[in-house]
């Protein structure tokens, strides 16, 4: 189901599971963000977000809004949990902590997720966000199984 006024997911989402595609398609905010997901040659998933005027946090410095960064991190963590833990439904984020390390100026940011711990009840995911080679923020997300 595509949100009203939103475009269907483009072909760059090839290589994702059907559940991951459904989560992306059913989340209107993902369409607003403009998230790009692709597979690298080595099989790893690449998550990117290109700067748009709607993402501005500080118009004088032309930086990403902090809420855009945190939302991007949460969507990436959710997709990574689906892929890594093999869940059959969208995971529920029960807690998150997000650290802003430096301003994320306009450009293309990329997210690098990793599972910190996968237990019987919870899965902890860390997402590092980079602008070029500069580490701009880190998020830790806890998902209930």
The better pLDDT of the pair 7, 77 is held by 77
b or e along 96-109 (b: 16 or more beta carbons within 10 Å of the residue's beta carbon)? bebeeeebbbbeeb
**Is residue 87 included in any domain, yes or no?**
yes
Residue 129 and residue 77 in contact, taking contact as beta carbons nearer than 8 Å? no
**Is residue 2 included in any domain, yes or no?**
no
Q: Which of 30-34, 70-74, 129-133 has the lowest mean pLDDT?
A: 30-34
Question: CA 73 → CA 35, 49, 56, 94, distances in Å?
Answer: 11, 10, 17, 14
**Is residue 4 included in any domain, yes or no?**
no
Q: Which of 18-22, 62-66, 74-78, 131-135 has the lowest mean pLDDT?
A: 18-22
**Is residue 40 included in any domain, yes or no?**
yes
What is the pLDDT, as a whole number, of residue 40? Answer: 75
Residue 76 and residue 47 in contact, taking contact as beta carbons nearer than 8 Å? yes
If one counts the domains in the chain, the total is 1
Q: Look at the block and give the residue holding tokens 């093999």.
A: 86
Please compute the mean of the pLDDT values over residues 13-30 and round it to a whole number: 82
Please compute the mean of the pLDDT values over residues 29-42 and round it to a whole number: 84
> How far is it, in rounded angstroms, from Cα 117 to Cα 123?
6
Per residue in 56-92, pLDDT tens? 999 999 999 999 999 999 999 999 999 888 788 888 9
**Is residue 132 included in any domain, yes or no?**
yes
Q: Domain of 115?
A: 11-144
């Amino acid at each position: 189901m595509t949100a009203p006024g939103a475009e269907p997911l483009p072909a760059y989402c090839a290589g994702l599971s059907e559940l991951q595609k459904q989560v992306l398609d059913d989340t209107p905010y993902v369409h607003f963000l403009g998230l790009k997901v692709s597979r690298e040659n080595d099989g790893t998933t690449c998550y990117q977000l290109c700067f748009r005027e709607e993402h501005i946090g500080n118009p004088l410095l032309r930086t990403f809004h902090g809420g855009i960064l945190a939302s991007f991190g949460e969507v990436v963590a959710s997709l990574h949990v689906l892929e890594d833990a093999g869940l059959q439904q969208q995971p529920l984020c029960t807690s998150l902590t997000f650290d802003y390390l430096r301003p994320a100026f306009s450009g293309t940011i990329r997210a690098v997720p990793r599972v910190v711990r996968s237990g019987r009840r919870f899965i902890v995911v860390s997402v590092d966000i980079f602008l070029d080679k500069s580490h701009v923020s880190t998020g830790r997300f806890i998902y209930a199984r």
